[in-house]
Amino acid sequence: MATHAAMPGRSGSRAHARTRHHTPLAWALPLVLGVVYGFYAAFIRRDGGPSTGGQVLLGLVSGVALAVLCFALGRIQRSLPRELRAAAYGALTACAIGFLVSLTDTSVLRSTALGLVVGAGVLCVSFYVFYTRET
């Protein structure tokens, strides 16, 4: 009876995986999302008037916060099960959209409802993508 030959594993593959460098996309995607989000947040807050330092600071802080959260989620997403990964993407999107809607001086209920609706949509779509593409 023939046995299948197994390829010997690398002795330091687990240690090598921990010290792996980030790909350019892992840095570029959160950075671009953060810049666009920050500009849009400052644009919404500007409301047609002149730009102020507070609006620029709001855009900078919100863009950096979103970029850091996107980068952190990208780093840990492989260790999460698909349900929790989809929920994390949905929650991040819901918070981001809810914050942008709240900058338009609408009611808290409207920003919460719109954030929840968009977050639920992202949760469903991302779960479907993770479920169908998981190996």
| Span 52-100, pLDDT tens digits | 899 999 999 999 999 999 999 999 998 999 999 999 999 999 999 999 9
- Rounded to whole angstroms, the Cα distance separating 80 from 83 reads 8
Q: Taking the C-alpha atoms of 27, 33, 37 and 40 in order, what is their torsion angle to the nearest 10 degrees?
A: 120
Asked if residues 58 and 43 have their Cβ atoms less than 8 Å apart, the reply is: no
Structure tokens at 57: 């600071």
Determine the angle formed by the axes of helices 24-46 and 82-102, rounding to 10 degrees: 30
Q: What is the DSSP letter of 49?
A: S
Tell me: the pLDDT tens digits for 21-46? Answer: 678 888 899 999 999 999 999 999 88
Asked if residues 46 and 55 have their Cβ atoms less than 8 Å apart, the reply is: yes
